[in-house]
Copies of this chain bind each other. A is one copy, B any other.
Amino acid sequence: MPRRGVCSRAVTQHTLSVLVENKPGVLSRVAGMFTRRGYNIDSLAVSPTEDEHRSRMTITVDASRFPVEQITKQLDKLVNVIKVRDLDPENMVARELGLFKVSTSGTSRSDILALVDIFKGEIVDVTSESMIIQATGTTAELENLEELLRGSGLVEMVRTGVVALGRGGKTT
């Protein structure tokens, strides 16, 4: 299987929750480690946490291709990385958000609306030529919706990548 760059669609995904100090250069160090070691990131989301001095990175990697224990160890060694957790898929909540722009010229709006309804999505914008659909769910659900929208005039899309929290107590 070829290395597919920054984003790929993996079947066996591990979700890493990485708590980092909010310092310049930390993202660069994390990304650099993945590049140097040749590990491929499937998705990455970085944003503030409940503590303004810390950020949380949620990184998904394909575990069938890369040794996850080694990745977590390498991450743990980096400067400004506070804690790394490989979330247990059986004991976490993982979601992502997607925005899908579909052309309304060739396809009937009612077909698209039916899909939006099934996926509990929301129409967040309409112009004369296109609509933007917002949907949330697991990666599998969003990929399923994407596949269906490809047949209904998908023009472009953007997804956040997965974010996740462990169930029960504190994740990191």
Contact = CB atoms under 8 A, between A and B. Distances in A.
B41 A46 contact: yes
B99 A132 contact: no
Interface stretch (A15-23, A61-69, A70-78, A108-116): A15-23
Counting every copy of the chain, the complex holds 2
Interface residues of A, number: 72
A20 B35 CA distance: 15
Contact of A160 (B34, B96, B130, B168): B96
A168 B5 contact: no
A129 interface: yes
A160 B157 contact: no
A58 B161 CA distance: 11
Nearest to A38: B24
A82 interface: no
Contacts of A80: 5
Nearest to A5: B22
The 3 closest A-B CB pairs, nearest first, are A160-B160, A5-B22, A97-B97
